[in-house]
């Protein structure tokens, strides 16, 4: 049996996004959603296959860990999209899969070009940026726009050396707003937003933002059915719903719980929740991060985890008094603590509101005992 029955298809949302990009007034969207809630899977398992079924060319590129070679992976994926092939086979290349040197077909199909990744470190050569533009030209199709699915797009801005690539890409996409439809996403909403909203941002106002809808009970029903197919153990629906809420509708954590229940059929399902939480915290190293935080940073993190609205106002002061029995540090100490948490990407700004970036870490912080503060 394959694992494919575990995928819960987001058909309705895929249809909406597809219509917007294929026929709508916009040619680019940026998809936002909390950490590990299925943005990548939506691209690779829902939107990509749908666009492909509808006769569009689909290119999926993840910029994760491509600091040295974002142009390399772009060229490689554009080249592959122009050859025939199943999109699902193509969706799994990562930067580390690239050979140090690889050959591309020229966009006009008449020759071959060898790309040496070692030469791409630092600023990209002009000739290859030109090649990128030629690939865009070949991919562009006004009747059936090619779908460019760019994941972890914020990573592109991490290296200053990528600046020429970023502006070349923007120009290439700008020139072909009818023939190319682009969807950007990434695991850092803050980083992603910075690519589109700051006036000096490389893709300023290039894409309209959309939110990945939260999963609901239909997801739980689907997973219960998948569980029944894969395992002999029984699942109680109300318990599963309760656990799903405990994990704040997070598909990954819920699936971990299902795995734990399957492996330990005699364990109380609620104990399995605790086990999953402990394992995940261990895996993500929350304890270590926490140890590295100062007392004020912990207070700020806890206020954000508990969604205290006025960090520097009365509500914040009351919260701190209640938690520690002491009065709150002054606002400038709280502000610098927040700044540091942000610099370490532990917190991010969402719609003008600061939040802990990782929902799991948020939950973990909320359960720290008072003695930690
Ligand atoms: N539609 C779905 N059906 C079933 N499981 C899903 C679905 N979407 C996500 N998941 C589960 O959640 C996990 C995380 O999904 P994914 O990596 O797509 O999230 P993400 O939002 O891209 O995360 P990040 O913020 O880290 O980039 C998947 O590996 C899978 O186990
Ligand atoms: Mg992702």
Same domain, 254 and 148: no
Tell me whether residue 254 is exposed, middle or buried, using C-beta atoms within 10 angstroms of its C-beta: 0 to 12, 13 to 18, 19 or more.
buried
Axis crossing angle, helix 251-263 with helix 269-284, rounded to the nearest 10: 120
* Cβ contact 70:176 at 8 Å: no
Q: Which of 318, 360, 351, 353 is nearest to 338 (CA)?
A: 353
Same domain, 201 and 147: yes
Same domain, 168 and 106: yes
Which of 36, 64, 280 has most ligand 1 atoms within 8 Å of CB, for mutation? 36
Q: Which of 159, 166, 160 is nearest to 184 (CA)?
A: 166
Same domain, 157 and 258: no
* Cβ contact 273:246 at 8 Å: yes
Same domain, 222 and 359: no
Which of 184, 211, 251, 280 has most ligand 1 atoms within 8 Å of CB, for mutation? 251
Same domain, 262 and 320: no
* Domain termination site, one of 178, 211, 244: 211
* Cβ contact 62:94 at 8 Å: yes
188 CA closest ligand 1 atom index: 25
So what's the pLDDT on residue 92?
A: 58
Axis crossing angle, helix 295-305 with helix 314-324, rounded to the nearest 10: 110
152 CA closest ligand 1 atom index: 27
Which of 41, 210, 211 has most ligand 1 atoms within 8 Å of CB, for mutation? 41
Same domain, 107 and 195: yes
* Full domain range(s) for residue 179: 4-211
So what's the pLDDT on residue 327?
A: 95
So what's the pLDDT on residue 87?
A: 56
Same domain, 73 and 143: yes
* Cβ contact 359:250 at 8 Å: yes
Query: How far, CA to CA in Å, does 219 sit from each of 18, 233, 296, 334?
Result: 21, 19, 39, 40
The helix (run of H) or strand (run of E) holding residue 50 is: helix 48-53
Cβ of 302 below 6 Å from ligand 1: no
Cβ of 36 below 6 Å from ligand 1: yes
Residues whose Cβ atom is located within 5 A of ion ligand 2: 39-40
Count of domains in the chain? 3
Q: Which of 302, 294, 280 is nearest to 366 (CA)?
A: 302
What is this structure's pTM? Answer: 0.86
* Domain termination site, one of 268, 283, 298: 283
Same domain, 197 and 277: no
Same domain, 38 and 187: yes
Q: What is the CATH number of the domain that holds 115?
A: 3.40.50.300
As a whole number of Å, the CA-based R_g of the chain is 23
So what's the pLDDT on residue 300?
A: 97
Q: What is the CATH number of the domain that holds 357?
A: 1.10.10.10
Ligand nearest to the CA of 39: 1
Same domain, 170 and 298: no
Cβ of 38 below 6 Å from ligand 1: yes
Same domain, 233 and 304: no
Interatomic CA distance for residues 271 and 265, integer angstroms? 11
Q: Give 317's DSSP letter.
A: H
* Domain termination site, one of 171, 195, 211: 211
373 residues of the chain, pLDDT tens digit each: 677 889 999 999 999 999 999 998 899 999 999 888 999 999 999 999 999 999 999 999 999 877 678 898 899 889 888 876 555 455 556 666 677 777 888 877 778 888 877 777 777 788 889 999 999 999 999 999 999 999 999 988 888 888 899 999 999 999 999 999 999 999 988 889 888 887 778 898 899 999 999 999 999 999 999 998 888 777 899 999 999 998 889 999 999 999 999 888 889 988 999 999 889 889 999 999 999 999 999 999 999 999 998 899 999 999 999 999 999 999 999 999 999 999 888 998 876 789 898 888 998 999 899 999 9
- Beta strand spans in the chain (E): 28-32, 58-62, 101-105, 112-116, 146-151, 180-185, 208-211, 347-350, 353-356
Ligand nearest to the CA of 189: 1
């Amino acid at each position: 049996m394959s694992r494919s029955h575990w995928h819960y298809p987001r058909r309705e949302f895929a249809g909406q996004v597809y219509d917007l990009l294929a026929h709508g007034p916009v040619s680019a969207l940026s998809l936002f959603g909390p950490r590990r809630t299925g943005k990548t899977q939506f691209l690779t398992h829902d939107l990509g296959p749908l666009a492909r079924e509808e006769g569009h060319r689909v290119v999926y590129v993840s910029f994760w860990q491509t600091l040295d070679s974002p142009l390399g992976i772009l060229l490689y994926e554009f080249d592959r999209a122009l050859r025939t092939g199943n999109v699902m086979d193509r969706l799994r290349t990562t930067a580390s899969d690239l050979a140090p040197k690889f050959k591309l077909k020229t966009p006009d199909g008449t020759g071959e070009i060898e790309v040496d990744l070692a030469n791409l470190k630092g600023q990209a050569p002009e000739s290859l940026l030109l090649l990128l533009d030629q690939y865009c030209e070949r991919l562009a199709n006004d009747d059936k726009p090619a779908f460019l699915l760019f994941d972890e797009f914020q990573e592109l801005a991490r290296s200053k050396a990528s600046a020429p690539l970023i502006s070349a890409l923007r120009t290439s996409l700008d020139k072909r707003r009818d023939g190319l439809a682009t969807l950007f996403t990434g695991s850092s909403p803050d980083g992603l937003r910075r690519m589109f909203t700051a006036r000096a941002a490389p893709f300023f106002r290039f894409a309209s933002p959309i939110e990945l809808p939260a999963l609901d009970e239909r997801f739980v029903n689907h997973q219960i059915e998948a569980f029944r197919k894969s395992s002999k153990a029984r699942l109680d629906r109300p318990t599963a719903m309760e656990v799903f809420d405990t994990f704040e509708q997070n598909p990954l954590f819920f699936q971990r719980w299902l795995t734990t229940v399957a492996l330990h059929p005699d364990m109380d399902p609620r104990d399995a929740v605790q086990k999953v939480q402990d394992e995940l915290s261990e895996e993500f190293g929350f304890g270590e991060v926490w140890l590295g935080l100062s007392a004020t940073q912990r207070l700020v993190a806890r206020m954000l985890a508990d969604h205290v609205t006025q960090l520097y106002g009365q509500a914040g002061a009351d919260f701190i008094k209640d938690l520690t029995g002491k009065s709150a540090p002054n606002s400038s100490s709280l502000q610098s603590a927040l700044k540091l948490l942000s610099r370490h990407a532990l917190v991010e700004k969402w719609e003008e509101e600061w939040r802990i970036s990782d929902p799991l870490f948020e939950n973990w912080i909320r359960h720290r005992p008072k003695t930690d503060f």
